[in-house]
């Protein structure tokens, strides 16, 4: 087995016993990128001449090749959110998660492809073209962190960072057969994450197994005064929660998530996972999340409103693309704004900006945005009620396996419904993760979602690790 095919914790063991070196591991990953990425297209740019190797300290704790989603700032490295409008933008500072990773010795492989500004569920909305699913190159890897998930699944990195606003870590993790964690809102600093929807965005890990997810979460979690939404709560060692013991844990199965529209193969795989955990001593009960049916509508009001506000800063003045008007129509500065935004934003970005601007406009704010915030509270209250009697909730991550590239591009609503099982978690601000629980007859991965209450990542990881160690799904490898 090549070094790039190993997990981070396996590599750390080899480095510790001097059976390999960080340079050997890094070069193995770079070789895989050169060999595979012309087909997978997981990356928008790489850092093959990584200066960090020259300055790597001998006592570095985690000299692990790491992939970064293209919306997380790395000082001096072009970061574009896979959008034309940020072409050439090189942040003058590191995101807090990048700073923490650098302090542990991380070796950055490059920036992963994504849906432009994280607007999408397939990575087809990228200015660089779509990434492809390593299990079937005709299929999408999910989105918006599709490049990160595809890089992990194809062994073009050891682990990766993604961001999750409505399922953008968990859904691609499900489609690509890897582990993806969306932490509690405020657990991981958003400083240096280029914003989509500030009240929903959260950075998290994409890894090859649950142990690596716990390790990476250890590194990036914690209070950050640079992020006003960061929560000053102690960070436990998440690896200590990987006990393999779920005896007596109460796990809820929401009836609203097992209805018409759920692919029969996905249902079967999730029901089989429930039986595995039952055999390990977990106790299951049917629960209700009655307002979850409104989560997609609520999300696409709140998220687009916040996106409209956040993307107003991209005007051709301060950074990125600038287009000059061919003919004077209004005033030179206004013409430049309009030409830049028209040329710089893709179709989905324009759609979301217009939706958000409309819902915030005079006369519609109360009817849409304010009402959506009230429904958001009801959704959160549903979860609180379930967690009063349950330790975790278990659901499918996505209603289907990965779909074909181009299959849903002409039907935005069908695309939005790809995140129907993940969106409510972001609205409630609670943690959730996806891990592999089977494959379809077509050979595509199926994801299991585990949800817990605020700051109960330990319980979530405990359930996930117990299931993972009782099955072999995480050992399956995509042969690109």
- 29 and 63 in contact (C-beta within 8 Å)? no
CB contact burial 29-54 (16+ within 10 A = b; e otherwise): bbebbeebbeebbbbbebbeebebee
How far is 117 from 450, CA to CA, in rounded Å? Answer: 26
How far is 359 from 388, CA to CA, in rounded Å? Answer: 34
How far is 171 from 141, CA to CA, in rounded Å? Answer: 9
Write the secondary structure of 319-344 as one string of H (helix), E (strand) and C (coil).
CCCCCCCCCCCCCHHHHHHHHHHHHH
Write out the H or E segment, with its range, that includes residue 44: strand 43-46
Q: Which residues are catalytic?
A: 69, 144, 168
How far is 73 from 190, CA to CA, in rounded Å? Answer: 10
How far is 79 from 193, CA to CA, in rounded Å? Answer: 10
**Neighbouring C-alpha atoms within 13 Å toward the C-beta of 47:** 24
Tokens 């959260």 appear where?
A: 202
Angle (CA) 81 400 457, round 5°: 65
- Side by side, the strands of the sheet bearing 445-451 are 43-46, 107-112, 65-69, 159-163, 203-207, 179-182, 432-439, 445-451, 392-396, 250-254, 283-287
Q: Which residues have a Cβ under 8 Å from the Cβ of 437 and sit 6 or more positions away?
A: 269, 270, 272, 273, 446, 447, 448, 467, 471, 473
Nearest alpha-carbon partner for 62 in 103, 29, 105 = 105
């Amino acid at each position: 087995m090549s070094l790039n095919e190993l997990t981070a914790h396996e590599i750390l063991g080899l480095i510790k016993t001097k059976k390999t070196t960080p340079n050997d591991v890094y070069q193995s990953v770079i070789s895989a990128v050169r060999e595979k990425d012309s087909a997978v297209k997981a990356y928008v740019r790489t850092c093959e001449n990584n200066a960090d190797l020259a300055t790597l300290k001998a006592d570095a704790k985690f000299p692990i090749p790491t992939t970064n989603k293209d919306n997380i700032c790395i000082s001096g490295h072009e970061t574009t959110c896979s959008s034309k409008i940020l072409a050439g933008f090189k942040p003058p500072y590191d995101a807090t998660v990048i700073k923490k990773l650098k302090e542990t010795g991380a070796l950055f492989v490059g920036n992963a492809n994504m849906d432009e500004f994280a607007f999408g569920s397939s990575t087809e909305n990228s200015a660089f073209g779509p990434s492809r699913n390593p299990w079937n190159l005709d299929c999408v890897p999910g989105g918006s962190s599709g490049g990160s998930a595809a890089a992990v699944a194809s062994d073009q990195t050891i682990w990766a960072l993604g961001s999750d606003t409505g399922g953008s870590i968990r859904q691609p993790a499900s489609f690509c057969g890897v582990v993806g964690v969306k932490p509690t809102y405020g657990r991981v600093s958003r400083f240096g994450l280029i914003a989509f929807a500030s009240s929903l965005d959260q950075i998290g890990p994409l890894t090859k197994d649950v142990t690596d997810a716990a390790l990476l979460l250890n590194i990036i979690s914690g209070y950050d005064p640079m992020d006003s939404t960061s929560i000053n709560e102690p960070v436990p060692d998440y690896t200590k929660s990987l006990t393999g013991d779920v005896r007596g844990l109460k796990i809820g199965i929401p009836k609203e998530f097992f209805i018409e529209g759920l692919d029969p193969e996905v249902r079967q795989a999730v029901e089989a996972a429930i039986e595995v955990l039952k055999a390990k001593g977990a106790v299951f009960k049917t629960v209700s999340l009655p307002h979850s049916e409104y989560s997609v509508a609520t999300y696409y009001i709140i998220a687009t409103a916040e996106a409209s506000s956040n993307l107003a800063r991209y005007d051709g003045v301060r950074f990125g693309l600038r287009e000059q008007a061919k003919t004077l129509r209004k005033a030179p500065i206004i013409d430049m704004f309009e030409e830049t935004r028209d040329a710089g934003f893709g179709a989905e970005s324009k759609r979301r900006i217009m939706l958000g601007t409309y819902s915030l406009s005079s006369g519609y704010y109360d009817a849409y945005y304010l009402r959506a915030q009230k429904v958001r509270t009801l959704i959160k209250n549903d979860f609180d009620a379930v967690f009063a009697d349950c330790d975790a909730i278990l659901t499918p991550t996505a209603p289907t396996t990965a779909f074909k590239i181009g299959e849903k591009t002409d039907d935005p609503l069908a695309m939005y419904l790809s995140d129907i099982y993940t969106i409510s978690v972001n609205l409630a601000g609670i943690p959730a993760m996806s891990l592999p629980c089977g494959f379809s007859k077509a050979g595509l991965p199926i994801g299991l979602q585990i949800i817990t209450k605020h700051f109960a990542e330990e319980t979530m990881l405990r359930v996930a690790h117990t299931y993972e160690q009782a099955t072999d799904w995480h050992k399956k490898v995509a042969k690109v």
